[in-house]
Homo-oligomer: A and B are copies of this chain.
Amino acid sequence: MYEVLKGRDFSELLKGDVSFVLCIGNTKTAEIPGITVAGANPDLIKFTPPADAELLYYGKCRSIPFPPATPDGKPTPALITYTALRLVKPQLFVVDSGLMIKPKIPYVSINAPVGENIYEREAMNIERVEEAFEYAKIFGKEVSKNSDCLMIAESIPAGTTTAGAVLKALGKEPKVSSSMPENPVEIKMKVIERAASRVNSEDPIEIIAKVGDPVMIGVTGVALGSEKPVVLAGGTQMAAVANLIKLFKKDFKVNIATTSYIAKDRTADIVGITPEDANVIAADPLLKNSSKEGLKAYEEGFVKEGVGMGGATLLAYVKGYESAFLKEVEKDYEKIVG
């Protein structure tokens, strides 16, 4: 089940050979207490992106002994993405888009730096951003040569805060989502406003360097390098990236696939913060029907999106796995989470 939230139904783009490109990285913004729950405790947050990527390849993590989870045990959305990729078997590449810890998989290096805490200082050196952006574009171009469509996903703790700062810097309302049902809006807004006040141009590279994060470099670069249609798989963060992409290339056709949980989030506004001519689809993995507490929690506003969960669900649906999907997700949940 999916719903077109905005624009047209682009799901037919996923009928051919899809490449799934996951961009993962870290921003020290995640070290601000209370800003993110993308990790069971503060020391584990930096392991979440590599562990998510490992889960997609192996069905288990290697850098940590268990899948990433929130402090109260809600499991990573990579679980749902894993099931979709296991069923559909698209080509999968992972881009090191500024990691603190390298994943135990083959990965693509674009020489991206780790992002600084945007409350304290500029996110990244602009020359480093330019270099990594160039490499990401090259990689996007090469991947797209043998594919019909690129689906690009992300994993970066505190990524909704940096996304909010980018939206604010662009003069948009930074209505961002969160992996918590009670979005820590106050902390986020304090960070977002202070960071955004640093920006005084509409140059997308400069905005990323000042208030963004390294995963934005990977996603925008791969998308802009692609010679084939692109689907951005994600929520708030992909909305911010979509606006950046439009600054690089006005006529770029933005397609966003997210989850129904983002669509329902009243602290966020996925339709409002995406570019005017963007197409946005929300896929519903129907976790409300699950017998597993950890999965049902998504319906109550936990986690919501990440690691391309919404896009991967849409991909599974387009490829004919809609009726089997929840059962397969539960099977993987049992095996992986126990």
Chain A residues packing against B (C-beta within 8 Å) = 17, 19, 57, 89-93, 96, 102, 104-111, 131, 135-136, 138-139, 142-143, 145-147
Find chain B residues with CB under 8 A from A142 CB: 91-93, 106
Residues of B within 8 A of A19 (CB): 146
When the two chains form their complex, are residues B111 and A109 in contact, meaning their CB atoms are under 8 A apart? Answer: no
Report how many copies the assembly holds.
Answer: 2
- Closest B residue to A132 by beta carbon equals B106
CB-CB under 8 A for A89 and B145, given A107-B108, A108-B106, A110-B106: yes
Q: A17-B146, A145-B89, A145-B90 are in contact. Are A109 and B96 (CB under 8 A)?
A: yes
> Contact between B109 and A102 (Cβ–Cβ < 8 Å)?
yes
What's the Cα separation between A133 and B104 when bound, in Å? Answer: 12
A91 vs B140: C-alpha distance when bound (angstroms): 11
- The interface residues of chain B lying within 8 Å CB-to-CB of A136 are 106
Q: How far is the CB of A180 from chain B (nearest CB, A)?
A: 33
Which of the residues B57, B93, B102, B110 comes within 8 Å of A111, measured between beta carbons?
B102
Distance of A39 Cα from B214 Cα, bound (Å): 35
- Are B135 and A106 in touch, CB under 8 angstroms? yes
Q: Which residues of chain B come closer than 8 Å to A109, judged between CB atoms?
A: 96, 102, 106-109
- Separation of A110 and B105 alpha carbons in the complex (Å): 7
CB neighbours (8 Å) of A105 from chain B are 135, 138
Measured CB to CB, the closest approach of chain B to A36, in angstroms, equals: 27
Q: Tell me, rounded to whole Å, the shortest Cβ–Cβ distance linking A110 to chain B.
A: 5
CA distance A89 to B108 in the complex (A): 20
Closest-CB distance, A261 to chain B (whole angstroms) = 29
Query: Told that A102-B109, A106-B142, A107-B108 touch, could you supply 14 new A-B pairs with CB distance under 8 A?
Result: A89-B145, A90-B145, A91-B142, A91-B146, A92-B142, A93-B142, A102-B111, A104-B131, A105-B135, A106-B108, A106-B109, A106-B136, A109-B109, A146-B147
